[in-house]
Structure 1
Amino acid sequence: MKTQGQSLKKKVLAAFAILCILFIGIQFYRPEIPNPPVVADFTGPANVKAIFEKSCYDCHSNKTELKWFDKVQPAYTLVAQDVKEGRTGLNFSEWGKLAPGDQKAKLFEILNQVTTGTMPLPNYLALHHSAKLSKEDVAVLQHYIAGLMVEKVEDTAMINARSRQQAAKVNKMTKVPVTVTGVPYVDGYASWDIISTTDRADNNTMRVIYGNAIAIKAIHDNKINPWPDGAVIAKVAWDKIQDKEGNSTTGAFKQVEFMIKDSGKYAGTKGWGWGRFKTLNREPYGKTTDYATECINCHRPVANNDFVFTLPIKQ
């Protein structure tokens, strides 16, 4: 007659055998990680490119190099997903396809994420120690990116003329624009209360952040982490123009971005609907739904603040 110990041992061995079979079986599931040709690689200074190659290229280029442990399931599936999302948000192998302004914006985003420790991903660094950025690496990036930020100086008369031209070009909407993810343009935001203002040195823009009534009430009630459903935040950007006396004012209208909180409807994008509408024609940004991943990645450093960078101005 079998003892209780023998029966338990048999069950443990059977469970171990099943796990081994499953482990071997999943090795045959291999999501593709293609490395297409590099068509427009990053062409910045050699020391800057070396940092990107060391710490970013595995997930953000067409030059992904897998270590042996990256190829073992289930890690392999996670790596494949990281590479797919990484290339969607930023692909150094297609850097040359970006407009100069978009390149600066990406560099600004990169610097923001590396200085906050959001990138490279902590779970990636746990096994890929060589990708860790040193203080010297960060200093090199800061110096390079700071050198790209140049103020635009113009005469006051030219500034005023541009403002009049812009006012004459405001287009009336015949149909509400909607992004490919279904996020609508929200008209009337200019009459909302102002939450804060920011500048972007990377592309010389001035920004005003507005909040709808629900967002403003949440601020007053100190209930903004998380923000309540129905809250809408609008960030409007203009060219930043500086006259010869050093006074700054708004230039051409660039875009308006919306974050619409609906934890149910937008559960797949961190509870927010992300929308960007460019130029006075309110042209929706993003040709595929992957653009929302780009927005989330940019805001990932403030995930603990419900993905919102803006700190309301205290009255």
Structure 2
Amino acid sequence: MKKRKTFRDILAALLVIFIALQFVRPSIPQQPVTSDIQAPPEVKAILRRACYDCHSNETKLRWFDQISPASWRVAEHIKSGRAVLNFSEWDKIAAPDRAGKLWESVNQAIAGAMPLKDYETIHREAHITEKDLIILKDYLNATVKDHPGDTAKQNAAKQQYQNWIDGKMNSAQLPKTLNGITYMPDYKNWQAISTTDRFDNGTMRVIFGNDIAVKAVHDGKINPWPDGTIFAKVAWDQLENKDGNVTTGAFKQIEYMIKDSRKYADTHGWGFARFKTPQLIPYGKTATFTSECVGCHKPVADRDFVFTSPLKN
């Protein structure tokens, strides 16, 4: 009898707490739709079904989305989703960057990183099927603009190389991003651990890893990656000759990810940096640019925020 009374008391206490939580709900700002992506109906249907709840200002909350504490998680999804990509503010994305945003989105879907698994489990309609992916890929392929011909890219690469020979690209002081990360030229001596290409902007990329990263790959200890791991993702123009052979062209940019659980605790243990053009111009107008990086990598939080899958020998 005493045990039964204790059980009822616990249930009553939990019920009171649950009811009290319903009065503590996060605010989800209602923002205007300033513009929208222009796409074929079949593409828009997929985006609205699978993406718009978190990546637009047209969020549709179900009754179960508004029950605390689940509502706190939903609000966080929407806040971070809009920060990374908001289809309702498409006009705020520079025209040359729109294809890249779509490319990133589709590739995250292909990798299974989006929609987020805990969201998709409850919102089954958000699931992206193989048929959906084919539609999205075909749309991306159709929207990719022609890039400069091989001759123009080859000339750009030759001119860049000549500038390096002439010393015009040398700098007495290594550039530094606003969050304090200095350009590391030694990446050229690191081992390549993966590659990727970007058909949306005609570039190819090689991901290099320092000794700690390479050892982690060898030992199979990459989730989480050990402190001291550094990745350098280098992008070049992609050149293809008449025989179909692909080589690197002019340098475009380099991105770093540095693992230090304590130093970069606010960004999930990773320091982010990007240097653009041969002049190595640091990316970001303020030190908060790292929030953009974290937002992009958040879908792979279960892989220690790393998209790269090391190539196996």
The reply to whether TM is greater than 0.5 is yes
Moved more, 255-264 or 94-103: 94-103
Distance 2:221 2:15 in 1: 49
2:31 corresponding residue in structure 1: 36
The code of the aligned residue for 1:232 comes to I
Alpha-carbon displacement from aligned partner over 1:199-219 (angstroms, at most 9, x marks no partner): 222221022222223333444
1:152 equivalenced with 2:147 (yes/no): yes
- Contact conserved, 1:153 with 1:244, CA < 8 A, in 2? no
Distance 2:169 2:199 in 1: 26
Moved more, 18-27 or 49-58: 18-27
Secondary structure of the 1:260 match is strand
Secondary structure of the 1:274 match is strand
2:236 corresponding residue in structure 1: 238
Secondary structure of the 2:258 match is strand
- What are the residue-to-residue correspondences of 1:246-285 with 2, within 5 Å? 246-285=244-283
Distance 1:290 1:309 in 2: 19
Alpha-carbon displacement from aligned partner over 1:123-165 (angstroms, at most 9, x marks no partner): 2222222222233222211211122346635354x44532343
Alpha-carbon displacement from aligned partner over 1:253-280 (angstroms, at most 9, x marks no partner): 2210112122333344443322222223
Residue 155 to residue 281, structure 1, CA distance change in 2 (3 Å): closer
The code of the aligned residue for 1:145 comes to L
The code of the aligned residue for 1:58 comes to D
1:290 corresponding residue in structure 2: 291
Alpha-carbon displacement from aligned partner over 1:7-44 (angstroms, at most 9, x marks no partner): 33332333223222222222121221012111221112
Residue 51 to residue 306, structure 1, CA distance change in 2 (3 Å): closer
Residue 247 to residue 177, structure 1, CA distance change in 2 (3 Å): same
- Structure 2 unaligned segments of length 5 or more: list them: none
1:78 corresponding residue in structure 2: 73
1:311 corresponding residue in structure 2: 310
The code of the aligned residue for 2:157 comes to S
TM-score by length of 2: 0.85
Distance 2:227 2:97 in 1: 31
Distance 2:124 2:269 in 1: 33
Distance 1:81 1:159 in 2: 43
Distance 2:5 2:219 in 1: 60
Residue 99 to residue 34, structure 1, CA distance change in 2 (3 Å): same
User: Residue 186 of structure 1: which of 172, 178, 184 is its match?
Assistant: 184
Alpha-carbon displacement from aligned partner over 1:201-252 (angstroms, at most 9, x marks no partner): 2221022222223333444555444433212111110122335554544333
User: Residue 155 of structure 2: which of 151, 161, 168 is its match?
Assistant: 161
1:66 equivalenced with 2:61 (yes/no): yes
Distance 1:242 1:47 in 2: 33
Residue 35 to residue 109, structure 1, CA distance change in 2 (3 Å): same
- Contact conserved, 1:58 with 1:83, CA < 8 A, in 2? yes
1:177 corresponding residue in structure 2: 176
- What are the residue-to-residue correspondences of 1:86-125 with 2, within 5 Å? 86-125=81-120
Secondary structure of the 2:45 match is helix
1:133 equivalenced with 2:128 (yes/no): yes
**Shift of the alpha carbon at 1:93?**
1.2
RMSD over aligned Cα, in angstroms? Answer: 2.7
1:208 corresponding residue in structure 2: 206
**Shift of the alpha carbon at 1:96?**
2.7
User: Residue 22 of structure 1: which of 17, 23, 26 is its match?
Assistant: 17
- Contact conserved, 1:40 with 1:96, CA < 8 A, in 2? yes
Alpha-carbon displacement from aligned partner over 1:152-209 (angstroms, at most 9, x marks no partner): 35354x44532343242525153541244x4443233223333343322222102222
- Contact conserved, 2:52 with 2:59, CA < 8 A, in 1? yes
- Contact conserved, 1:205 with 1:238, CA < 8 A, in 2? yes
User: Residue 142 of structure 1: which of 128, 137, 142 is its match?
Assistant: 137
Distance 1:27 1:247 in 2: 62
**Shift of the alpha carbon at 1:47?**
1.6
The code of the aligned residue for 1:47 comes to E
The code of the aligned residue for 1:70 comes to D
**Shift of the alpha carbon at 1:58?**
0.5
User: Residue 52 of structure 1: which of 47, 54, 62 is its match?
Assistant: 47
- Contact conserved, 1:89 with 1:297, CA < 8 A, in 2? no
Moved more, 162-171 or 82-91: 162-171
- Contact conserved, 1:152 with 1:240, CA < 8 A, in 2? no
- Contact conserved, 1:239 with 1:252, CA < 8 A, in 2? yes
Residue 196 to residue 11, structure 1, CA distance change in 2 (3 Å): closer
